[in-house]
Amino acid sequence: MTAAVAEALSLEQLIKAQACGLGFDLAGITSLGPMETAAAFETWVARGYAGEMDYLPRGTAKRRDSRLPVPGTTSAIVVGLDYGGRTPSGPVARYARGDDYHDVMLGKLEELHEWLEAELGRPVAGKAYVDTGPLLERDLARRAGLGWFGKNTNLINPDIGSFFFIGVLLVDLELHPDAPFEADRCGTCTRCLDACPTGAFVEPRLLDATRCISYLTIELKGAIPEDLRSQIGTHIYGCDVCQDVCPYNIKFAQELGEPAFAPRAAIGNRDAQSLARNLLAMNDDDFRAAFSGSPMKRAKRRGLLRNAAVVLGNIGDEEDKAVLAVATNNLDPLVREHAEWALEQIES
């Protein structure tokens, strides 16, 4: 960008251009204030759809008004970073195959913050968030013009689909906001609702997380309900089914462009059976080496072993009985119980 071009652009245009230069695929700006979906979020939690995610109700007042998390801030720079919806589906959801997106996104947002201060020649109060604070980021993203709420509850952008992370930089600048995305482009399509393996959608745009495979394999810390185990299928960590079938992803999903999200060696292009076997054979040191700095650490080793056992119970064969038998001697009762169940499934 030449100096003459830069001088002709508004600060808002420069911010979005810089965000693009840092690797973000989407960027928009919105004003902070009361959040439209706060009441619906609180009702969703009250109805028990959040399951064991006890952290979600925290910071209720701040979630209702996006000006409160960082006092003095008035605008949000909202970005999207694609994580490669064109890559083949597999036993690990696409977002979790590489490095932790929190670290990648926060690093880029902090660079954007530093650039903004240098551009203005003064400190700019603000803070970056990537789904770890009391903010309804999806709400801010819609208000910033990045997309609409799909029937599968994901934010869908008409140009790249929904395989992207949302990040927010709150700043104490009076920036001119973009027009919010008002249209609902799902129409009469119900592919995502119909495809969900566990029937987790109560109705369009209303997810019962306690039935969602992503919740069951990541957030749930105890036993996976027996009546849902067979429906887990080959999913070891997370699930992309409701995104895979979306027409906007089928048509517009992107190739993986961020190297940090490339699959780790422990995952590679392994199929579900191979990965499950590999996980069950890992010791603590192997696990730490394979998943240091990975989003998959959220489930902890015991959770991944539980999930691997369930998958082998669904698709395993005689060759898997040996590794499952070893798992039945695991010191963790959660792992033992799921390994015993898996053996019963193979033997039945």
Residue of 131, 172, 286, 332 marked catalytic: 131
Q: Known catalytic residue: 271?
A: no
Structure tokens at 89: 């589906």
Classified as helix, coil or strand, 7 is: helix
What is d(CA 260, CA 100) in angstroms, rounded to the nearest whole number?
A: 8
91: left (phi over 0), alpha (psi -120 to 50) or beta: alpha
**H or E element at residue 79:** strand 75-82
Cα-Cα-Cα-Cα torsion 238, 233, 270, 102, nearest 10 degrees, comes to: 0
- Which DSSP letter does residue 215 get? I
- Which DSSP letter does residue 155 get? E
Structure tokens at 227: 């009546």
Other CB atoms within 10 A of residue 171 CB: 26
Using CA atoms, how far residue 41 sits from 44, 135, 171, in Å, is: 5, 11, 24
| Cα Rg of the chain (Å, integer) | 22
224: left (phi over 0), alpha (psi -120 to 50) or beta: beta
CB distance 125 to 73 below 8 Å = yes
Give the catalytic positions in this structure. 131
